[in-house]
Chains A and B, each alone.
Chain A
Amino acid sequence: MPLIRRRIYLRPEGWYYLFVIVFVIGGAVLRNVNLLVALGGLMAAALILHWQLVLRSLSGVDVIRTLPARLCAGDVLDAEVTVRHRSQRGNVWALEFGDRFERIDPPESDVATEVKLLFPRVSAGQEITKRYHCTMTRRGIYHFGKAKLTSRYPLGLVEGTCFLDMPDRLVVYPTIGKLSRRWQGLIEAEQVGEKSTRHRRGLAEGDFYGLREWRNGDSPRWIHWRTSAKMGALAVRQFEQRRSSDMVLLLDLWSPSSATLEQKGLVEAAVAFAATAVVDLCRHGGSHLGMIVASREVGHWSGTASALYAQELLEHLSVCQASESVRLVDAVQRLGDMFHPGAKLIVFSTRSREDAFSLVDRKLREGVKWKPLEEAVWIDGAAGEFQSFLSLDREPRA
């Protein structure tokens, strides 16, 4: 718990109190009233002892903050704060831990969130843990910076604050929604097509292939009890080999510079859709998954679908931003590097295909393979197509 600096000052009530002390002692001096000297002394004594108690409260105390590794937007952040009193005697009273965090990527124009936790009493050698919860409504990277440990005990006239350097980082992934049957249909339909590349993993249809978590509709006979006991959750044997194909997802994040709230919501929906698709595709594993995010800059990633790969993609999706000048040509060039015949390209866009193409210069289009994009499944959010594939009901996380 590195201490940056310590500050002790009079609160407004303390200034009033000091004014009364000056008034009393001033009167005592001017009129030689000894009883007012005594009264002024008592008041001053209370203030000085208060000062000392505040100082003592702030020394010999350690603070530890514990955060979860990752979250999705909409999840509740459960943060733990532990205060430990190192001293061997005495109590520390009314310690207030002030935490502060803000979204740094994408940068947030709003003020940072501040949390205050009160530790009424921490006895000598004692360790007390308290929690606070906050619904993280927006994706991004959050920075937990300087925390404060404050004491105003016992009279509330003097406030002492230790500024603590407790840097921490929390990635909030985009919201993971629930994909509809239409999405499943879209994926399955492509898998039986002639151009799809099929990989058989498993000996035969109906053979034991692997283990997966239990879902509604699974036969109780498929439950693998030993694994279930180890994991503490039901796991079933997977007999059916999944037909998987190579898949490329393109996220076209276009938004006008002065976007309306609806347009901003559409961007978030596109990101959430892409994130949900990534989670879904990586859950089953096996296939090759490419991802291109087209905005002011173009980002592209490619790899075998897996939980780790999903986390990497989600981390990138958590910080991507919409732009008016989407570099679609660059995206298509990247697409050429990772796309091969038989792979499936799905575009999540905030605009229609025609709008997107119309904004691309013809000369620029000549140098790239434009055909995959023309043949891609284009899901146009502006036309309300997202709603038929995605709902925001929560789905189990990857």
Chain B
Amino acid sequence: MNVERWLQVHLVILCLLGSLFVALSTENLLVPSGVLLAGITSVVFTDALRWLRLNRLLGNLGAVGAVLYSLRDFFRSGSDGQLLAIASLLVYLQVILFYQEKQSRLYWQMILLSLLQVVVGAALHLGLAFGVLLLVYTSVSVSTLVLFFIHRETELHSPGAAPVGPGLGHALPQRITDGEPWMSLLGGPATVHVDDSREEISRSFLSTALIRQIVMLTCGALLFAAAFFYFAPRHSRASWSGARGFSRPQTGFTREVELQQMGELLQNNSVVMKVKLGDQFDRPVRDIEPYLAGEALVEYRTDEEGHARWLAAASLHGRGAGSPPMAPREHTLVTVEMRATTDPALFAITPAYALDRQSSESLSMNPLTRLLFRSGDYENFLPDEFIYSVGTTGIREGRQLTIVPDTRPDPRSIPPGQPRKDARDEMDMLADHLRQCSDWPAENDERFSRLKQLTAEIIESHNLSMTNEPILIARALEDHFHTPGLYTYTLNFNFARNHELDPIEDFVANHHRGHCQYFASALVLMLRSRGIPARMVVGYRGTEYNEIGDFYQIRQRNAHAWVEMHLTKEQVPDYETTGGEIGTAGAWMRLDPTPSSEATDRVLARDWIGTARDWLDYVDTVWSDYVVGLNDQRQQAAMYGRYSTQSDPFTDAEAWREKMRTLASWFGIHIEQGKNWRVAFDWRAGLTAMILCGLGLVFSRLVKWVWPRIDWSPLAFWRVRQGRRSPVPFYARLEDLLARLGRSRRPAETPLEFVEHAIRELALAQGDSLSKAVDAFYRVRFGGATLDNSEIDAIEHALAELERRPLVGA
């Protein structure tokens, strides 16, 4: 296979990789498959067999058609769709170019198009796969560019290419040279020929040494790029978080829930946050699947079109938003690193406490729901990362407690003399909130008749109709949804629905299929139908614990909805571990009616596959944190943090002065700083001076001995520019060698004088040959002569002998 064929194959691979960058975001392999097919057929039928070739006109027409077609998509789509339209256009153009006769211009265009695909891909997909693909792309693109270079050089220098030179003489008309014999003396069209063949040039290039070069070049480029990437200053905390997703619904957290009734939800694997749990001894807490609450939804609404929604308790603008209470002494530390988001909702294990005053200022607590959100003007948040730590008492003995106290201050616990108004306001808000959580309008009896009936049946079946124990009722209702085979967890709603009924009533009465929001909604409504205050809580459930990094990786697919039921202090049984003392505000009990699904029921395998997966997750996290999400904050923390957090020892002048004073005092020099400087010496100063003089003497002797033994020739280029070194290499070398032997050219000493003096002073045996060398130098330097081979050999021989001469004193 010749160079050009190798180049064509590499180009196909390059274009394929370019299309894969785009396919990463669309998860559609149709485009790369098409590019691969077009590439293979073009190499075979267009380049090798030359059966199929688009001429330039057809190619241009095709390109115009592709542009028009893509423009249609471009103007019909949103920003993400526009990016995809551009990516598609690049692919169309590549395919058209594949089938045209290949020339250098075409090769350049294909390389450029492929590069633009990577640029578009970088805006669409930010996953680890992009990084892996970028590594492959880098190596292929480097080898492609090198092959392209070789191809062009081969074409340029091979026989049959363009004339190497214009030749000499006039180009005479053929009729004249035919008629007049003397015309040929004026010179015909002469050409220059070079003894090279295309095959020979190709063969000289294609070798294992070339592969080594490409590998080294790729590695060098990657190393440089890594350094560039990490040291290029970032000026913003925000970083591009990728395309905002496509029109198809995906799993994920939202502060309002709309129950989907059609289509299929897609699993969204993008990472939302990283959560670390540590106990009071800073040991990681693992093997629990923590519920991280983000928002509590209390109001269930159905519009005229049958769309059911759960709404939050109140706007965050509501009254009484305050700081979370300070954490008790015994708590579990929850550290959350959230990816860039505009949503003010924060996620924590309830009950959440502030760790210190500073963190309490950046965190706010919803007075109704007692859940966290970010302080500040959250309606104008820019996409930003947020790292926060809170304490929680919701974890005991390696498990997350189901009943946790409401952290509202108990008016009774306020010492006499302290204002109790705020506490009373809090209790009023709790009462309001519980009213919302118990909301069961009269029409609900008819609207949720089957649900109500089912609730009654379940309670009856558990013989709880006469009891007033809400915990038992709730457990029975929760267990109902866990009944094997009765309900099915699904994200696919492509089945027959009764749109006359409320979605939840339909779910409970008929199809029994849905995701966590359906199950949670049903249980909330069941509890409310029995007068028990309950709310739906949305957040995340951490199911992926990374053993390597000791953190929970939370993705959008881990978004979850569950139920919290309010208990008064009296309703909390004594035997329950509650994560703190229950006050008059009562407690919240967590219920999770959602049965396991293949998607959520993840067995934490601890074999090599599990370890590999953990590593992969860890690398993915590093990629997300330090590549995709590298911002000024992370950069400073990762690279300069160690120094920036200290008191700037490198820039603090006073610290340096103090160090110098201390150092000087060791050597007997005492510096007193005040209004007037005072310096005093003691005997150590004299000793130090003597030692320094001795060291200086030894050092100067050492330098004198080492200096001529250093080969300065690599730095000689500097001297050429300064005009101090002869531009004739062999004479410059002669000067170097003589200098090495201890004789340098003195000012105003001509080269001849210098060499003659050196021969005499150093008693050199090669006197004659060195004199001849100087003579040759004059001829070359000032006469423009060219030395023949015998002269060069003689000079080289003389210089080599001089080089072998032992050094002075050696």
Contact = CB atoms under 8 A, between A and B. Distances in A.
Of B126, B224, B720, B781, most buried by chain A (CB within 10 Å of CB) is B224
B112 A154 contact: no
Nearest to B118: A39
Contact of B228 (A33, A45, A266): A45
A268 B727 CA distance: 42
B185 interface: yes
Interface stretch (B202-210, B298-306, B530-538): B202-210
Interface stretch (B8-16, B138-146, B563-571): B138-146
B786 A166 contact: yes
B800 interface: no
A154 B217 contact: yes
Contacts of B717: 59
A268 B134 contact: no
Contacts of A65: 786
Interface string A78-115: 00000000000001011010000001000010110111
Contacts of B157: 96, 116-118
A168 interface: yes
A76 to B, nearest CB: 9
B174 to A, nearest CB: 13
Of B168, B194, B221, most buried by chain A (CB within 10 Å of CB) is B168
A111 B205 contact: no
B122 A138 contact: no
A152 B153 contact: yes
Nearest to B629: A34
A266 B196 contact: no
Given A130-B196, A134-B165, A136-B168, A392 B181 contact: yes
Nearest to A42: B225
B192 A35 contact: no
A13 B108 contact: yes
Contact of B119 (A27, A44, A391): A27
A13 B630 CA distance: 32
A73 interface: yes
B119 A39 contact: yes
A261 interface: yes
B149 A138 contact: no
Interface in B112-144: 112, 115, 118-119, 122-123, 126, 130, 134, 138, 142
Contact of A38 (B115, B142, B225): B225
Contact of A36 (B122, B146, B149, B238): B122
A116 B164 contact: yes
B182 interface: yes
Interface in B141-189: 142, 145-146, 148-150, 152-153, 156-157, 164-170, 172, 176, 180-188
A155 interface: yes
Sorting the interface of chain B by its residue count into under 10, 10 to 19, 20 to 34 or 35 or more gives 35 or more
B711 to A, nearest CB: 12
A113 B167 contact: yes
Nearest to A44: B228
B627 interface: yes
B475 interface: no
A137 B189 CA distance: 9
A131 to B, nearest CB: 5
A15 interface: no
A32 B213 CA distance: 34
Contacts of A66: 789
Given A2-B780, A138-B186, A152-B149, A41 B232 contact: yes
Q: Nearest 4 CB-CB pairs, A to B?
A: A120-B204, A137-B187, A45-B224, A41-B225
17 contacts: A34-B239, A35-B130, A36-B119, A38-B134, A41-B229, A44-B224, A48-B224, A49-B217, A133-B193, A133-B195, A137-B186, A154-B217, A165-B784, A167-B784, A262-B183, A272-B185, A391-B181
Interface of B: 108, 112, 115, 118-119, 122-123, 126, 130, 134, 138, 142, 145-146, 148-150, 152-153, 156-157, 164-170, 172, 176, 180-188, 190-196, 201, 204-205, 207, 209-210, 213-214, 217, 220-226, 228-229, 232, 234, 236, 238-240, 627-631, 717, 720, 727-729, 780-781, 784-786, 789, 792
Given A34-B627, A73-B185, 8 more contacts: A42-B138, A44-B224, A45-B220, A113-B167, A115-B165, A156-B149, A261-B183, A268-B186
